[in-house]
Structure 1
Amino acid sequence: MSHPKFIHYTFTGADASKFLQGQVTLHVERLTENSTQYTAICDLKGRVHFGLWLTKHNAEQFDIVVVEDQKEDFSSHIKKYAAFAKAALVEVGEVFPHVHENNTIFLSATSDIQLWQEHVIEHGQAWISQATEHLFQPQELRLHQRNGVHYDKGCYLGQEIIARLWFKAQPKQWLHLVKSTQEIPNAGNKIEGNIQIVNMIQTKNNEYIALIIAKPTTLEETSFLEVIELPSPLNEDVARAK
């Protein structure tokens, strides 16, 4: 089983904050400095194209980390949209995920990727790779419950559809944590009842754990998956309170 690799970029310049505000789903101006937050860049259909870990040092200096298999498309995307912005994306190199106060940070020191995957899956911290891009709405991934989406910010890619789903509708399916003694397929694959895998890992005790997108009623009818309660606030209702 292969493990993900991660690429670190710097994004700097006078327009860095303004540009990112028009791209990512969170409110960049409110982002706490020197803390790492997972967020997304969506396509025009409101589905997550790129997942990224964003660290703001100040309004003109950011660190961005993406899964390696998205790096070429991500770099092309940023350079295309930022062609006339006073900001530059520079690739730094490979970094490694570490758990810090239940969140992911990235360092140059190597880490146990297996243990990192187990931890973030168990805590509902889904991430997007090439296999899962363009598949899920941020709300389905519970990204708003991780402070990765803010519904009161200005325009960004896919914002109109994302806001409409939040204020005028509710998702039919969303993120769940499951485990099984049977093998669970890799990310992006579907299993019975239209259940779609976001992330999965085989643990060292030969169980499989996974983050999936599914309707709750479908999970009630599934025999080989055991649903595990996610940590708060990810076990709360995914829809907007009326």
Structure 2
Amino acid sequence: MNSYTINSRLLTTYSAEENPLHFDKTKNYLFDLSYLSALNVQGDKASDFLQGQLSCEMQDLSDIHMVHGAQCNLKGRILALLDVVKWNGIQLILPRDLLEATQNSLMKTALLSRVTLTENSSFKIFGFYLQNPQDIKPHSSFFPEAIQGQTYNEQGCYYHLGQNFYILLLKSDYVEPVVSIFKTQQQLFGSLTWHSLRLMQGQIEIYPESRGLFLPHRLGLHDTSYISFNKGCYKGQEIIARMHYKSTLKHELKLFEIETDGPLFSGQKVFNAEKNSEIGELVDYTPLDQQRFLVAVSILKEIEELNHVVWSEKLE
């Protein structure tokens, strides 16, 4: 197994042949997402507690429908992006390197709500890319077609991210039988390839380095179910609502392919080389080839190409 670092997050590949641009479209693939973890939220008022902490509508959560949410600070800036799953309590699925900070910030008010937050290590997290219903699959006869649809059985819980990408929460006893099927067929890949595939779909991630940097509107999340404008008060809501209803949005999230031998990092400023003016910030990235990268940039709407730009050398 090899590794690659995005900011400070270690992602993996199982072989040098892993390339999301050259997938066999007749095959399904399993991805080891060991960089993800889960916070278990328990208590009679767990849902009410999260309703006041996250940007999503918790009333949409059920045992057949998961929700995406953001935890923001009082300035409306994103601290973490989470998948919220109702299964054996409420599970918050998020990167492991954000778990402790997220747990600590939520604990400040959780005690008042008689809610407990503990890391859940009773299952392993995998990604699954379903391209061919006739090819090998985890031991399940049903994968929800509805986006954010969720199902579960004795092995674990599965939910649909869209575009036939699924997250699998597999109980520890069932991990080896499922993994061995895909490993034998050389259809088990690492988390870097998953990250690349998801970024190609416009799905960015928050890192310890970008925690508290970006407003949801700078990432296009106001047009998704991550943000509800119909719910009651939650942390950061006032700023987010003001941006939505009273501001003219100048930036949007765009994907570009670039070639560079310089460092890349989330929060990196992008400047117009001719005018020496800032035009955007790097949000996320992934390698495509030697010195070639796919980057997600929150950038001025009128910018169509990254020509004649300068990247800052350190986080300012």
Same fold? TM cut 0.5: yes
Q: TM-score, normalised by structure 2?
A: 0.64
2:70 aligned partner: 40
| Structure exhibiting the larger radius of gyration computed from Cα positions | 2
> Quick one: distance in 2 between partners of 1:92 and 1:205?
38
2:120 aligned partner: 92
Name the CA shift for 1:216/1:222 in 2 (closer, same or farther; >3 Å).
farther
2:270 aligned partner: 191
2:248 aligned partner: 170
**Do 2:52 and 2:232's aligned partners in 1 also have CA atoms closer than 8 Å?**
yes
Q: Please state if 1:179 is matched with 2:257.
A: yes
> Quick one: distance in 1 between partners of 2:85 and 2:79?
19
Q: Please state if 1:127 is matched with 2:205.
A: yes
Percent identity, please.
25
Q: TM-score, normalised by structure 1?
A: 0.81
State the AA in 2 paired with 1:187: S
**Do 2:58 and 2:67's aligned partners in 1 also have CA atoms closer than 8 Å?**
no
Query: Comparing 186-195 with 100-109, which one deviates more in the overlay?
Result: 100-109
> Quick one: distance in 2 between partners of 1:104 and 1:141?
22
CA shift at 1:158, angstroms?
Answer: 0.6
> Quick one: distance in 1 between partners of 2:288 and 2:67?
26
1:173-221 Cα distance to aligned partner (Å, 9 max, x none): 1211111132461223223343312111102576310111111234556
Counting matched residue pairs gives 223
Q: Please state if 1:69 is matched with 2:97.
A: yes
**Do 1:97 and 1:106's aligned partners in 2 also have CA atoms closer than 8 Å?**
yes
Partner SS state of residue 156, structure 1: coil
> Quick one: distance in 2 between partners of 1:17 and 1:177?
35
CA shift at 1:132, angstroms?
Answer: 0.9
CA shift at 1:152, angstroms?
Answer: 0.8
Name the CA shift for 1:147/1:15 in 2 (closer, same or farther; >3 Å).
same
State the AA in 2 paired with 1:107: L
Q: Residues 77-88 of structure 1 correspond to what in structure 2 (within 5 A)?
A: 77-88=105-116
Partner SS state of residue 192, structure 1: strand
> Quick one: distance in 2 between partners of 1:171 and 1:151?
17
CA shift at 1:38, angstroms?
Answer: 2.9
Q: Please state if 1:26 is matched with 2:111.
A: no
> Quick one: distance in 2 between partners of 1:34 and 1:181?
43
Which segments of 5 or more consecutive residues in structure 2 lack a partner in the other structure?
Answer: 12-34, 129-159, 180-188, 273-277, 311-316
**Do 1:182 and 1:224's aligned partners in 2 also have CA atoms closer than 8 Å?**
no
Q: Please state if 1:7 is matched with 2:37.
A: yes
